[in-house]
Amino acid sequence: MSTQTVDTSRPGTDPGRTAREDLGPVRAVPFTRLLRVELRKQADTRAGRWFLVLIAVVTVAILVTLLATGDGSRTFQDYFEGTVTPLQIFLPVLAIMAATSEWSQRTAMSTFTLEPRRGRVVAAKVLASLVLGATLLVVAAALAALTQLAAVLVRGAEADWTVTGWVVGGAVIALTVFLLQGSAFGLALLNTPAAIVAFFALPTALSVVSALIESWRDTMSWIDINQTTVPFFTGSAPTGEQWAQFAVSMAVWVVLPMAIGVWRVLHREVK
Amino acid sequence: MITTTNLVRRYGDFTAVDDVTFSARPGRVTGFLGPNGAGKSTTMRVLTGLTPATSGTAHVLDRPFAELTNPGRHVGVLLDASAQHSGRTGREVLTVSALTMGLDTRRVDRMLDVVGLSAKEARRRVGNYSLGMRQRLGIANALLGEPQVLVLDEPANGLDPAGIRWMRDLLGGFADEGGTVLLSSHLLNEIERIADDIVVIGHGRIVAQGTTEDLLRPSGTLVRSADDAALAWALGEEGLEHAAADGGGVRVQAEPVQVGAVAASRGIALVELRPADNRGLEEMFLTLTADTAREESAA
């Protein structure tokens, strides 16, 4: 079998050998490594990279518009709030794609043969989306600060750098929830278009229906995630009832689909 | 070492893998041969923990795949070369695997070199790769963690004859170093060129297994003479089992030298005397393939 014939099929330097070398002792795959790999996988594809570029472009466009319009009285907080909206819309899609692309692109085959404990991969994936979200929020805040600086220097705006705790806290909580919801929908449906459509259309459809049917309105204020997350964008602390409503809607839109999704990924046959 | 014991995988009423027991030994290339839809891929997916077994066991290196520590360092797997993100570059595919296994990324360059993908090709996205290039990338991915075992599903698909020869040398070398190779194919001539042992599967069941040599060994002798009737009579007289062969001549269950001696002793002039081809494996395989083809055209 081990003929030393020189091969002509544009082979490697040593076609009969498989490049044996000492790669060191075999150690278990630590979770931090899975996390790092999952983070990398969100940005190493063409789709992922362009998506990040898109988020950056939209954010900058919003900031420039805010800077150039109005009477120049905007504060750092106004700019910061402006950057949260694109993140709120786009970050969940990133989380959805991270969860679904393993199946639509069939990379799950390679992923799960390198780490058969699928639960760890799912956890790393969800956490990676949160880490990426946090990073982008910090970048957005930095861009908002630069814009404020420009406003002060160029437009002679007042150097108002005050930010209420609840503006930041609310943004962090809301973004976390939407990211988790994106991951949950992605894992539950394992299909990119279906998950994106469901993510945006289902809660909105529910809002529309509840607006039409009077008797549902009370119930919906507990279930409709579009309503229950509103207090987090007001800049002040939510009331006790608002927290309770938020928790109930979380159970419906995040916990339930996440449970379904994790179960599916753990049990699904990888083809 | 790969061992499956009474492995069964059912999908509703359909039994894709039916009581499959076989092993692939270290130092050998084991060919898993069967027509499309025979259960090869399902068996390999069960082996690598991607599909749960209905019953029976599948062990790699004496334990279920899922219990291996950092499995990429023990078992190299290539089940479908097209199952890669089309938007990732070839190099990035290997880098992701290397990072997961905890390897230095220099290993990636080494493997690209081994499978003959140039730096330029490695920078292209997998979506633009030909099937042959994907197979090479997949093999590089499988070899990355320096495994002792390789599980490869139809790795020769899309390779040109030179590529198949390259793969034979590569896998032969891997086995010579003590590695275990299980590779599947639906082509008998491909398997017979690469494999040391063959396991034949049809309709989810194992129908034959053994060394390639045994399974393909010539059996008996084909002889043609000026007077086949007289020769047949003489062979019968000597107690040698024989039968008229298709296309003329006599097929004898004996070595050519014995048959020649019988002919010489009776003064019968020979026209042809040679070991008979072993049609057994090929015929069995053709029957299996014909069944599948019928089912496919009926469906």
Residue B193 and residue B247 share a domain? no
- Which of B196, B216, B236 is the C-terminal boundary of a domain? B216
Residue B210 and residue B145 share a domain? yes
Residue B119 and residue B34 share a domain? yes
Residue B268 and residue B207 share a domain? no
Residue B153 and residue B40 share a domain? yes
Q: Is B261 on the interface with A (CB under 8 A)?
A: no
Look at residue B291 and tell me if it is in a domain: no
Residue B52 and residue B149 share a domain? yes
- Which of B216, B231, B256 is the C-terminal boundary of a domain? B216
Provide the pLDDT for residue A5. Answer: 42
A143 touches A59 (CB < 8 A): yes
Q: Is the CB of A37 less than 8 angstroms away from the CB of B70? A: no
What tens-digit pLDDT sequence spans chain B (299 residues)? 999 999 999 999 999 999 999 999 999 999 999 988 899 999 999 999 999 999 999 999 999 999 999 999 999 999 999 999 999 999 999 999 999 999 999 999 999 999 999 999 999 999 999 999 999 999 999 999 999 999 999 999 888 888 889 999 999 999 999 999 999 999 888 888 899 999 999 999 999 899 988 888 777 888 999 999 999 999 998 888 888 887 788 888 888 898 999 999 999 999 999 888 766 677 778 877 777 666 655 54
Provide the pLDDT for residue B279. Answer: 66
Of the CA atoms within 13 Å of residue B186, those in its CB half-sphere come to 15
Distances (CA, A) of B36 to B285, B286, B289: 12, 12, 8
| Residue A28, both tokens | 């278990």
Residue B147 and residue B84 share a domain? yes
B44 touches B208 (CB < 8 A): no
Q: Total domain count for chain B?
A: 2
Residue B192 and residue B175 share a domain? yes
Look at residue B285 and tell me if it is in a domain: no
Look at residue B299 and tell me if it is in a domain: no
Question: Residue range A226-239: average pLDDT?
Answer: 88
The total of other beta-carbon atoms located within 10 Å of residue B285's CB is 21
Q: Is the CB of B70 less than 8 angstroms away from the CB of A26? A: yes
For residue A7, what pLDDT band results from cuts at 50, 70 and 90? very low
Q: Which of B113, B141, B172 sits opposite A12 (nearest CB)?
A: B113
Provide the pLDDT for residue B219. Answer: 73
In A, which residues are within 8 Å of B69 by CB distance? 26-28
Look at residue B75 and tell me if it is in a domain: yes
Distances (CA, A) of B285 to B206, B221, B281, B289, B292: 12, 22, 6, 6, 11
Look at residue B48 and tell me if it is in a domain: yes
Look at residue B105 and tell me if it is in a domain: yes
- pLDDT tens figures, A141-185: 999 999 999 999 988 888 888 888 899 999 999 999 999 999 999
For residue A208, what pLDDT band results from cuts at 50, 70 and 90? confident
Q: B82: nearest CA in chain A? A: A106
Provide the pLDDT for residue B298. Answer: 53
Look at residue B296 and tell me if it is in a domain: no
Residue B139 and residue B44 share a domain? yes
Domain CATH for B93? 3.40.50.300
State the residue range of the domain holding B102: 2-216
Dist. CA A256–CA B208, nearest whole Å: 49
In A, which residues are within 8 Å of B122 by CB distance? none
- pLDDT tens figures, A20-34: 677 888 999 999 999
| Residue B30, both tokens | 């084991």
Residue B105 and residue B27 share a domain? yes
Q: Is the CB of B87 less than 8 angstroms away from the CB of A14? A: no
Q: Is the CB of A11 less than 8 angstroms away from the CB of B65? A: no
Q: Is B103 on the interface with A (CB under 8 A)?
A: yes
Residue B147 and residue B58 share a domain? yes
- Which of B166, B198, B216 is the C-terminal boundary of a domain? B216
Residue B182 and residue B244 share a domain? no
Distances (CA, A) of A219 to A181, A225, B22, B67: 21, 12, 60, 48
Is residue A246 scored above 90 in pLDDT?
A: yes
B8 touches B18 (CB < 8 A): yes
Q: B143: nearest CA in chain A? A: A18
Look at residue B166 and tell me if it is in a domain: yes
